[in-house]
Amino acid sequence: PIIDRLPAYKLQYWGEVDNGLAVVHLNALCTPLDGWQTRQVLVLDGGDCFFNLNYDPATKTFSNLSVNGEA
């Protein structure tokens, strides 16, 4: 399960304001990819090695968890 491997993931965070509401986006990568520290990484496939979700700081809730599929 992802939760067991979570400490090993590399994490990307960035914030946006959408219609006046702040949201923090998170990308999780089990394998660091070229440029992951300086640019937003988009990965297709890869299974649960890659996932993303959103955080709402106003409500302190997470949403839109998306785990990659495998081709």
Residue 44, amino acid: L
> Which SS3 state, helix, strand or coil, does residue 49 take?
helix
Asked whether 25 and 16 are in contact (CB, 8 A), the reply is yes
pTM for the structure as a whole: 0.85
Convert the pLDDT of each residue in 44-71 to its tens digit: 899 999 999 999 999 999 999 999 998 7
Question: Backbone dihedral region of 35: left (phi > 0), alpha (psi from -120 to 50 degrees) or beta?
Answer: left
Half-sphere exposure of 28 (CA within 13 A, CB side): 20
- Provide the mean pLDDT of the chain: 93
15, pLDDT greater than 90: yes
